[in-house]
Amino acid sequence: MSDGISLDLRARAALEAHGFRAAHSLGQNFILDEAFLARLLDLAGVGEGDRVLEIGPGPGLMTALLAERAKRVLAVELDEKLRPVLESVVGERENAEIVFADALRSDLSALVADKLGAPWRAVANLPYYITADLVLKFFETRPLPESVCLMVQREAAERLMSAPGDKNWCALAAVVRFYGECEVLEEVSPRHFEPAPHVESCFIRIDVKENRLVPEAEEAEFLKLVRCCFHMRRKTLANNLKAVYGMRGEEAAARIEAAGFPSQVRGEALGLEEIRKLYSALAAN
């Protein structure tokens, strides 16, 4: 900043000046270490020319750092009480805009088109209880982001990165694998947060694929089948097909066998390539 005050000191001073206290109910755990956040953004690969959608800017320290290195930043914050703090920390940066809204209830496609532009990336240090919903929300946004970088609970990272055969293999992990490749960029100790959470965290990156298993026009129907496979864990896939698609037992068994699987296979035993074979079998006349 032009006054020589570091961003982390500015954020702390703004929080104190406005009497802001983090709300446990909103999952607010802030990172107020400028050097550490800069390292995370280095790992995220955010650079000149990037357009970045940030969810949950908090006091705006990461927002300001993003604005220093990206072409444009749009930050979506739920808590109106942070408005004066964000105004103080982010300041009058022409390439940064704050929108106060619930990201999960917002039309992100419209926000990106109206205020950000494409191609775009997502970055977030978000409340952990909305991790799954927000990841899915990003994948529903069009155009899709080039990458998604998130601070998540370690257990969530393990679930997002799970593979077929793992105990954590689930519909969410399958959707993530359908859209992109996920990796842990940094393991983050609770000491980096204020207040410190009671869990270990990971900063992850999902690089979105340009080419996916099915054409875009068929994605919704394919992902319906993905979710069907995990609809009732420990139940057979045939039972799931009956519940989700209203099939008779004989028809479900026949379609499963046509895809090359035993009729008693469980849906959670399948990987994406195997689900695509089932998808083709279901689509066949």
Tell me: do 17 and 158 sit in the same domain: yes
Residue 197 lies in a domain: yes
Select from 208, 243, 262 the last residue of a domain: 208
Q: Which amino acid is at 110?
A: A
Tell me: do 243 and 201 sit in the same domain: no
Q: CATH number, domain at 109?
A: 3.40.50.150
Tell me: do 247 and 160 sit in the same domain: no
Residue 1 lies in a domain: no
Using CA atoms, how far apart are residues 207 and 222, in angstroms rounded to an integer? 20
Using CA atoms, how far apart are residues 275 and 157, in angstroms rounded to an integer? 23
pLDDT of residue 285: 57
Select from 191, 208, 225 the last residue of a domain: 208
What's the domain range around 247? 216-283
pLDDT of residue 3: 64
Place of tokens 């990037």: 50
Number of domains within the chain: 2
Tell me: do 67 and 156 sit in the same domain: yes
For 152-163, what is each residue's pLDDT tens digit? 999 999 999 999
Tally Cβ neighbours within 10 Å of residue 264. Answer: 11
Using CA atoms, how far apart are residues 213 and 211, in angstroms rounded to an integer? 7
Tell me: do 238 and 154 sit in the same domain: no
pLDDT of residue 37: 97
Using CA atoms, how far apart are residues 8 and 65, in angstroms rounded to an integer? 10
For 169-179, what is each residue's pLDDT tens digit? 999 999 999 99
Q: CATH number, domain at 277?
A: 1.10.8.100
Using CA atoms, how far apart are residues 119 and 61, in angstroms rounded to an integer? 24
Select from 169, 186, 208 the last residue of a domain: 208
- Residue ranges for the chain with pLDDT beneath 50: 1
pLDDT of residue 24: 85
Tell me: do 32 and 99 sit in the same domain: yes
